[in-house]
Structure 1
Amino acid sequence: MRLASALRAEKAVVENRLKQLRRRAETQPAARAAKSSRAAKSPDRRPYPAVVPKYRNPDRPSETWAGRGKTPRWLTAQLKSGRRMDDFRIRHAA
């Protein structure tokens, strides 16, 4: 009996909270839409440093890859032909 009354009381609290949230959501749809469009225009992310390229295409030296993301087509083709990743590594002056 105590458990049933405790559950009813908890259910009433949760239902009241849901009603409040629904009322708030109904009264502020324009403000929410403005906030989401503003967030899309200027994300609040920290600035990341530029990533230095680690690999260079010997056939076209302007094509480089930093080793992040999807492997470029030129490197995939070279690797399939039997070459190794180290063959394309850029030697940086330390």
Structure 2
Amino acid sequence: HGVWGGINPQGEIELNFYEESDSLPQWSECLVAPDGSLGPEMMDEENLEVREVVRRINTRVLLNYNTARAVLEWLEDRVAALEMDESGMAVYPRNITGPEQ
């Protein structure tokens, strides 16, 4: 979902890739239908207003100056390729507000 980082004390670029999700409740209670199947979840009114987000760091990447420059050039090439179709015409980023007038 994102990345956080900066330059660490060793002079390397540090990237911490993370994912975010809502935290799971401590408990959950559901109604049980007469046939034994689970019905709707009973909501705790107190916890409806509280939303906690859990952030988990999945990967930590350290780049020295030379590697960072190489990755930057590689990314620029990939972004340029995304921006062009096979004929060399610019196609990306697409106009998300609608057709041009």
Instruction: Identify the TM-score tier after normalising by the shorter chain.
Output: under 0.3
Question: Rg: which structure is higher?
Answer: 1
TM-score, normalising length from structure 2? 0.21
* Bigger relative CO (Cα 8 Å, ≥ 6 apart): 2
More strand by share: 2
More helix by share: 1
